[in-house]
Structure 1
Amino acid sequence: MWLEIIIIILLIIFLIYKRLTSKFDYFEKLGIPYVKPKILLGSYPGSMSKKLSLREEFLRKNLEFKNHKVYGVFAFGSGDPIFVINDLEILKKITIKDFDYFKNHFNFVEPEDDPLFRKSLFAMSDEKWHDMRMTLSPAFTRSKMRLMFQLILDICERAVKYLENSIKNDPNCKDGVNFEMKDFFTLFTNDAIASVAFGLDVNSLEDNNNEFYRMGKNCMTFSTWDVIKFVMYGASKKIFRLLGLKVFKKEFRDYFYRLVVDAMKYRKENNIVRQDMINMLMEAQSNPEKPHNREWTNEELVAQCFIFLFAGLESVATTLCFATQELIEHPDIQEKLHQEVDSVNEELDGKPLTYEALQKMKYMEMFISEVLRKWPPFTQSDRIVTKPYKIEVDGIELNLKVDDIIWIPIVGLHMNEENFPDPYKFDPERFDDENKPKIKQMSYGPFGFGPRACIGSRLALLECKAILFHILTNFELVMSEKTQMPIELEPVSFPVSIKGGFWLKMMPRK
């Protein structure tokens, strides 16, 4: 009896092993160089086992294969083969010239496992994606950014008052006050998204126990158990479902659904207009001249607000954290920004910052561009092959099949010395009027490339510039005894973060 049970268990283990490793010779058969995988952990076992950050491990592997136009890696969990494209011309074809062959993102999550995420613009496919993109595009034009700017400005001014009060109430304020910037910027970004996307006026800096902040933070915090769930989901969706697990908790979906639908109903009944994303979605739903005949459901509209929070909260906060980290490491760059900020304030002559004045700040633009080059919020982007496609790679004719996965190695492109000499040096001058035209096309893409580039990039940049302007107007940023130098990246962190936090001292400017 026991012998039969043991044999059955061993047989099951063997069958699972064979299934998970069945694709490991995929690239060898094609003659494509590849990163050797480990079962369940794929080609990046260091990040999955908390030895390295995903950014470090991905970058290390990418630089190892930088002389290959295309190389292969394997996904964690499922072991699916993925083509990583290093060649700029091939990337241009995939993301722009031959976009119709690579329209869609890889959808890790199936509709039944998280319908809200799958109905977002990021996860939509083919014509449905195109129609939703057309629906949302008017919300992110320059004219709409001007209208949303006042909402962001209000949050910035409130954030500066919070910093000023914190310094006044600190007994050691003469020597500067320690701040952990990840906490601060996450609270700031949360309030900005709450206002711009959901029409909510929350003050998380004063009350970080409010429901919107708690829901957003819990949704974006990935524990070790969450990583295990993702691996399990990739390995076997059937087992995942049999165990009654969910990718995102139901309470998140229910909360955001109720929040957006109730807001739309209330505004419609009371004829309320507010220049935010909910208003844009309501206009799109009722617009008689919309560019398509599709009727969006409430759940599809809610999904756009949800992905706005999911994609924008941590990525903008992390970009701002690395921006301040670079400012304290490079006082000369901070001084140049102080001079530009002072010049703008002098022209404003005591009036509040305007959208036009912020957009004219050349050095601020250069600085943010370099932050996004060195510290892009996302390690890579992806595409799925939607129609059979042939490319010539190092003398090999490569036949890509429908549903093959493509990775665009954003951090690899940014940190390749052939694209950006001395890539680990932080140098905003790369993006001045003289050097910017020399940057190779397709070598820089913190928000992605082509029609599927991030639709919210303008708003993200606006948030970053606005809060940095207000901070630099009022404060000098210096290292503290808690500042992490040299920095060490946190393993299993999304987006990338540093061990010990982003600590600095903030001192009122004289």
Structure 2
Amino acid sequence: MITELLIYLLVVIIIYHIFEYMKIQFHYDKCGIRYKPGVPIFGNTFSSIFGRRHFIDDLDAVYKAFPNDKYVGFFDGMKPILLIRDPELMKMITIKDFNHFVNRKPFFPKEIEPLLGSSVLSLEGDEWRKMRSRLTVAFSAAKMKGMWPSMRAVSDQVMEYLKDHQSEDIEVADLMRRYNTDVIANAGMGLQVNSLKDRTNEFFMAGQQAISFTIWRKIYYFLTIQFPIIAKLMQFLGLQLLPPAGTVFFRKIVSDSIAYRKKNNIIRHDFINILTEISEDWTLDEITGQIYFAFLASYESSTSTLSLCIHELALNPDIEEKLYQEVRSHQERAGELTFEDLPELKYLDCVLSEISRKWSAAVIMDRVCSSGYVLPPPREGGKEYEVKVGDTIYNVVNPLHLDPNYFSDPEVFDPTRFSEGNKQNIKSFTYMPFGMGPRNCLGMRFAIIKMKVLLYHLVLNYKIVRCEKTVEPIRLQPLDFSIRAVGNTYVRFKARAE
């Protein structure tokens, strides 16, 4: 009897969602919005949900299907999304008419991830404005300069580690993940962590567990995003999306650090010190949430960018050599790299800009409509479309970066696109690795600086060479949030003659 009842309920649920899916398609048809039919319940993301390809490829398939439309319909599971294709329309949505699109969609429901739900990524409306305004101070040039010695020290740890591993095929993502972990620990929290020596330290393992999405965690995440009632149920049952050990660890380490500093009147140039200065009325969870989010964001996005940059340099020795000549020339002329020297490294900036174009970790700039908005017709002869409060739009990033209409030979890794003579030719809002508008990436300056300091010393001291495991051409693993090469990134680091 119970079996038959469960089967009956399952059939009813499936039929209901197929009906809802068809209703959404009918709505798009009626409004003249083109779309690619997907799979009921899973929409256009069926392939990425079940590990057949990357989410970027799901987006790109819909983006390319309608080359003459400014926006099209996209089904992220059961949620109807407007996929914005037109750069000028993106500018209007993210800057000119930002007040209609202040919020982002919930990435981590607060019900099941209270720490991340308190982060600047998840906050909405006036709460977000207040948090963003305060946090902007934490990422000023002056604050970054204060963190520079910590970044340099962690970079030196990587150089020292590679001295004893020159004959090995190095798995670069693991190396870069340890580097990013230690930068956040040192520069962000004043903790002396060396993940290259202490390979299973609690700080590193917290990040490793958080980004390891099993198929069950992926399904769990999908269900909580698609069906908010499930998130409420998980809250009632006391279940979290991310391993609870990570949140317990971060709460303890932040609270202990704040208490110790207050008791001993200690001031350090790190995020904890900055946040305690600007957050007199914040709860411990609000402070911890900002640090936890910064850690997780840095842990994977900067890791992806650095790993693929090293991968591309191994595949393009002429580009690596040109970069080496710049950093060697600077070293001979000015001596040790300082914070003030960074703007002088023009080619290094070109290399990072190009890797951020070709392999952007941004993927989309999602926005939720906070007050009614009318979009212009999607194409000539079409009709205007009213975006209602609560509707979600995706401003695409990666598909634009790889569109030959905006970048010639987009699959080619060519840093000269961003040279002084060429970058002025890049069309506005076709290059957005850190987003655009008031909700762009707050930690952009921090991310760029820590990547530059490592790449500078890496190329100065070691030649990046291919090994048997180096994959060419680079293709993405079918992951949800990470940007990693199929087969991972393996290279060898050969010390340069002094």
Residues 4 and 457 of structure 1, relative CA distance in 2, 3 Å threshold: closer
The CA distance in 2 between the partners of 1:18 and 1:262, in whole Å, is: 53
Give 2:66's aligned amino acid: F
Residues 19 and 33 of structure 1, relative CA distance in 2, 3 Å threshold: closer
The CA distance in 1 between the partners of 2:13 and 2:480, in whole Å, is: 33
The CA distance in 2 between the partners of 1:357 and 1:133, in whole Å, is: 29
2:348 corresponding residue in structure 1: 364
Say whether 1:482 aligns with 2:466.
Answer: no
- The answer to whether the 8 Å contact 1:32/1:72 transfers is yes
Instruction: For structure 1, list consecutive stretches of 5 or more residues without a partner in the other structure.
Output: 168-172, 287-294
Residues 10 and 228 of structure 1, relative CA distance in 2, 3 Å threshold: closer
1:182 corresponding residue in structure 2: 173
1:340 corresponding residue in structure 2: 326
1:306 corresponding residue in structure 2: 292
Counterpart secondary structure, 1:383 = strand
Counterpart secondary structure, 2:81 = strand
Residues 26 and 113 of structure 1, relative CA distance in 2, 3 Å threshold: farther
Counterpart secondary structure, 1:332 = helix
| Structure 1 residue 49: Cα displacement | 2.3
Counterpart secondary structure, 2:384 = strand
Cα deviation code 1:42-63 (max 9, x no counterpart):
2122222222122233223312
| Structure 1 residue 98: Cα displacement | 0.8
CA RMSD, Structure 1 to Structure 2 (Å): 1.9
The CA distance in 1 between the partners of 2:481 and 2:426, in whole Å, is: 28
**Comparing 59-68 with 402-411, which one deviates more in the overlay?**
59-68
Residues 453 and 12 of structure 1, relative CA distance in 2, 3 Å threshold: closer
The CA distance in 2 between the partners of 1:7 and 1:505, in whole Å, is: 58
The CA distance in 2 between the partners of 1:392 and 1:147, in whole Å, is: 47
2:242 corresponding residue in structure 1: 248
The CA distance in 2 between the partners of 1:344 and 1:64, in whole Å, is: 47
Counterpart secondary structure, 2:494 = strand
Counterpart secondary structure, 1:72 = strand
Residue 500 of structure 1, aligned match among 478, 484, 487 = 487
- The answer to whether the 8 Å contact 2:306/2:451 transfers is yes
1:375 corresponding residue in structure 2: 359
Residues 478 and 3 of structure 1, relative CA distance in 2, 3 Å threshold: closer
Give 1:475's aligned amino acid: Y
Cα deviation code 1:199-218 (max 9, x no counterpart):
21110011111011101111
Counterpart secondary structure, 1:166 = coil
Say whether 1:164 aligns with 2:163.
Answer: yes
Map 1:227-242 → 2, pairs under 5 A: 227-239=218-230, 241-242=232-233
The CA distance in 2 between the partners of 1:299 and 1:2, in whole Å, is: 43
| Structure 1 residue 261: Cα displacement | 1.6
1:68 corresponding residue in structure 2: 69
Cα deviation code 1:27-81 (max 9, x no counterpart):
22221011212123221222222221222332233122232100010112xx110
Give 2:310's aligned amino acid: T
- The answer to whether the 8 Å contact 1:137/1:455 transfers is yes
Residue 467 of structure 1, aligned match among 454, 458, 464 = 454
Residues 18 and 189 of structure 1, relative CA distance in 2, 3 Å threshold: same
- The answer to whether the 8 Å contact 1:378/1:495 transfers is no
Residue 419 of structure 1, aligned match among 406, 423, 432 = 406
Residue 432 of structure 2, aligned match among 427, 436, 445 = 445
Counterpart secondary structure, 1:472 = helix
Counterpart secondary structure, 1:25 = helix
| Structure 1 residue 241: Cα displacement | 4.9
- The answer to whether the 8 Å contact 2:180/2:299 transfers is yes
- The answer to whether the 8 Å contact 2:118/2:289 transfers is yes
- The answer to whether the 8 Å contact 1:84/1:408 transfers is yes
Counterpart secondary structure, 2:213 = coil
| Structure 1 residue 160: Cα displacement | 0.3
The CA distance in 2 between the partners of 1:13 and 1:28, in whole Å, is: 23
2:57 corresponding residue in structure 1: 56
| Structure 1 residue 18: Cα displacement | 3.5
The CA distance in 2 between the partners of 1:490 and 1:148, in whole Å, is: 34
Say whether 1:257 aligns with 2:251.
Answer: yes
The CA distance in 1 between the partners of 2:183 and 2:287, in whole Å, is: 19
1:170 corresponding residue in structure 2: none
The CA distance in 1 between the partners of 2:456 and 2:4, in whole Å, is: 71
Identity in percent: 34
1:407 corresponding residue in structure 2: 394
Give 2:252's aligned amino acid: R
Counterpart secondary structure, 1:73 = strand
Map 1:176-215 → 2, pairs under 5 A: 177-215=168-206
Give 1:283's aligned amino acid: E
Residues 98 and 241 of structure 1, relative CA distance in 2, 3 Å threshold: closer
Counterpart secondary structure, 1:381 = strand
1:290 corresponding residue in structure 2: none
Residues 235 and 442 of structure 1, relative CA distance in 2, 3 Å threshold: closer
**Comparing 489-498 with 423-432, which one deviates more in the overlay?**
489-498
Cα deviation code 1:276-322 (max 9, x no counterpart):
10010011025xxxxxxxx2211111110011011111100110011
The CA distance in 2 between the partners of 1:89 and 1:133, in whole Å, is: 25
- The answer to whether the 8 Å contact 1:55/1:496 transfers is no
Residue 285 of structure 1, aligned match among 259, 268, 279 = 279
Residues 254 and 347 of structure 1, relative CA distance in 2, 3 Å threshold: same
| Count of aligned residue pairs for this structure pair | 490
The CA distance in 1 between the partners of 2:8 and 2:116, in whole Å, is: 41
**Comparing 453-462 with 480-489, which one deviates more in the overlay?**
480-489
Residue 313 of structure 2, aligned match among 309, 324, 327 = 327
| Structure 1 residue 329: Cα displacement | 1.2
Cα deviation code 1:80-124 (max 9, x no counterpart):
100111111111111001111111111143322221111100111
1:289 corresponding residue in structure 2: none
Instruction: For structure 2, list consecutive stretches of 5 or more residues without a partner in the other structure.
Output: none
Counterpart secondary structure, 1:396 = coil
- The answer to whether the 8 Å contact 2:362/2:435 transfers is no
Give 1:183's aligned amino acid: D
The CA distance in 2 between the partners of 1:3 and 1:180, in whole Å, is: 49
Give 1:32's aligned amino acid: I
The CA distance in 1 between the partners of 2:161 and 2:64, in whole Å, is: 43
Residues 240 and 100 of structure 1, relative CA distance in 2, 3 Å threshold: closer
| Structure 1 residue 149: Cα displacement | 1.1
1:292 corresponding residue in structure 2: none
Give 2:296's aligned amino acid: F
